[in-house]
């Protein structure tokens, strides 16, 4: 059969349609009863159950995974990137106390490769299913000549909901409160441009190089999935921030690009500083290597990387032990890593 002109120009609509025909099975695990319509409509439909809330507030966020994609290309491993993206977005809205409702993805590529598309969607579906978040739509754009061969970009948008009276805004944070840090799995989705420079240019490693301290190849270590703290945060808020009474958990920060220095101040009142105690948690080997071999000043390390802490909770000091116990009971590593002092809205690593 003669190839169509658009396909000869690099955009194969028929291939796109064949690949997308597998979507209903892939997305079945992410279904929620509030989802209306079917996959492939012009817009995703979600009927929010407003009876569950007095004043529902929708919370949204959009993100990508940055140059972590370069590792996926080099390893030809694409099944974790989608999960990274969902979990990153879930964590961004979890800091406000929101539970995720639905997610939409965007994939842009030069030439659509069926196995890459399928692996990406499998990752999106896995992330959505684990977070009870419906994957209700997306866009796949074929743009020949726009991307390097074999490369693509992804982004995602999440929408969640929180009861207005239970939103976390950090306003009650005061000197004497303490900071709990939740362990990350690695770099998550930030700092990859610098990490790639350190490992592949300075240390001359290849993605498939095995690194003894990691017990892993550097490529697989760098592709470890971004942790979703969303389900854990919801459990902690139900237990420690009841609908009536004092709030024990006062503010959360997702430690993404900007590290401790830029992210924690986003939830601080103007008269408070946070002091993060270096060495108060078990630093992952990947960060030990970056610290030892990267020739990067300490201040910058803690601003570029999460350094092993993916999320921080600012809590009342008298309840910190109980909160830590609850977190560890959920098999999540956590430590007391700092405290709130009088100041001007800054976070410092000391």
Q: What is the DSSP string of 152-190?
A: EEEEEEEEEEEEGGG---STT--TT-EEEEEEPSSSTTS
Q: Are strands 134-142 and 35-36 parallel, antiparallel or unpaired?
A: unpaired
Work out the number of other CB atoms within 10 angstroms of the CB of residue 256: 21
With a cut of 90, say whether residue 16 has pLDDT above it: no
For the chain, domain boundaries:
5-166, 178-349
Please check whether the two domains, 5-166 and 178-349, share a CATH topology: no
With a cut of 70, say whether residue 18 has pLDDT above it: yes
With a cut of 80, say whether residue 263 has pLDDT above it: yes
With a cut of 70, say whether residue 10 has pLDDT above it: no
- Separation of alpha carbons 197 and 219, rounded Å: 13
Nearest to 121 by CA among 159, 95, 178, 83: 83
Determine phi and psi for 54, rounding to 5 degrees.
-80, -50
- Separation of alpha carbons 313 and 338, rounded Å: 10
Residues 6+ apart with CB under 8 A from 207: 71, 74, 75, 200, 217, 218, 219, 222
pLDDT at 41: 77
Q: How far is CA 203 from CA 1, 97, 293, in A?
A: 51, 41, 8
The model's confidence at residue 165, banded by pLDDT at 50, 70 and 90, is very high
Nearest to 101 by CA among 152, 146, 47, 155: 47
pLDDT at 245: 72
How far is C-alpha 269 from the chain's CA centre?
25
- Separation of alpha carbons 277 and 350, rounded Å: 5
Residue with tokens 């140059």: 67
Q: Is the pTM of this model over 0.85?
A: yes
Beta-bridge partners for 152: 109
Looking at residues 116-138, what average pLDDT do you find?
93
CB 49 within 8 A of CB 38: no
With a cut of 80, say whether residue 19 has pLDDT above it: no
Q: Are strands 99-109 and 134-142 parallel, antiparallel or unpaired?
A: parallel
For the ranges 7-16, 278-287, 304-313, the lowest mean pLDDT is seen at: 7-16
pLDDT at 1: 59
* DSSP-derived 3-state class of residue 37: coil
The model's confidence at residue 37, banded by pLDDT at 50, 70 and 90, is confident
Q: In the structure encoding, which two tokens stand for residue 17, read together?
A: 């349609």
Q: Are strands 272-276 and 347-349 parallel, antiparallel or unpaired?
A: parallel
- Separation of alpha carbons 307 and 328, rounded Å: 20
CATH number of 5-166: 3.30.1330.10
CB 93 within 8 A of CB 163: no
- Separation of alpha carbons 91 and 99, rounded Å: 10
State the fold for domain 178-349. Answer: Phosphoribosyl-aminoimidazole Synthetase; Chain A, domain 2 (3.90.650)
Work out the number of other CB atoms within 10 angstroms of the CB of residue 333: 14
pLDDT at 2: 62
Residues 6+ apart with CB under 8 A from 18: 114
Mutual angle of helices 81-94 and 114-130, in 10-degree steps: 30
pLDDT at 9: 64
């Amino acid at each position: 059969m003669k190839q169509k002109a658009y396909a000869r120009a690099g955009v194969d609509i028929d291939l796109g349609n064949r690949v997308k025909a597998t979507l209903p099975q892939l997305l079945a695990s992410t279904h929620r009863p509030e989802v209306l319509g079917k996959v492939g409509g012009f817009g995703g439909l979600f009927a929010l159950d407003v009876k569950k809330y007095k004043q529902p507030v929708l919370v949204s966020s959009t993100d990508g995974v940055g140059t972590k994609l370069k590792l996926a290309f080099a390893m030809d491993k694409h099944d974790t990137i989608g999960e990274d993206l969902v979990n990153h977005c879930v964590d961004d809205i979890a800091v406000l106390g929101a539970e995720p409702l639905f997610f939409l993805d965007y994939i842009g590529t030069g030439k659509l490769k069926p196995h890459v598309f399928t692996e990406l969607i499998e990752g999106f579906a896995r992330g959505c299913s684990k977070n009870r978040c419906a994957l209700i739509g997306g866009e796949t754009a074929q743009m020949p000549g726009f991307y390097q061969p074999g490369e693509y970009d992804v982004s995602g948008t999440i929408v969640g909901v929180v009861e207005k009276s239970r939103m976390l805004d950090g306003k009650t944070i005061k000197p004497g409160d303490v900071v709990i840090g939740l362990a990350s799995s690695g770099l998550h989705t930030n700092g990859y441009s610098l990490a790639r420079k350190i490992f592949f240019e300075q240390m001359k490693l290849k993605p498939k190089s095995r690194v003894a301290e990691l017990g892993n190849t550097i490529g697989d270590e760098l592709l470890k999935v971004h942790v979703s703290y969303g389900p854990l945060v919801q459990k902690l808020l139900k237990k420690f921030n009841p609908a009536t009474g004092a709030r024990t958990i006062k503010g959360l920060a997702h430690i993404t690009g900007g590290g401790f220095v830029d992210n924690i101040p986003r939830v601080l009142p103007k008269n408070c500083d946070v002091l993060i105690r270096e060495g108060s948690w078990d630093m992952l080997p990947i960060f030990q290597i970056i610290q030892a071999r990267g020739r990067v000043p300490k201040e910058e390390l803690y601003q570029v990387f999460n350094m092993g802490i993916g999320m921080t909770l600012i809590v009342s000091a008298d309840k910190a032990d109980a909160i830590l116990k609850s977190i560890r009971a959920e098999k999540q590593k956590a430590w007391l890593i700092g405290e709130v002092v009088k100041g001007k809205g800054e976070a410092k690593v000391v």
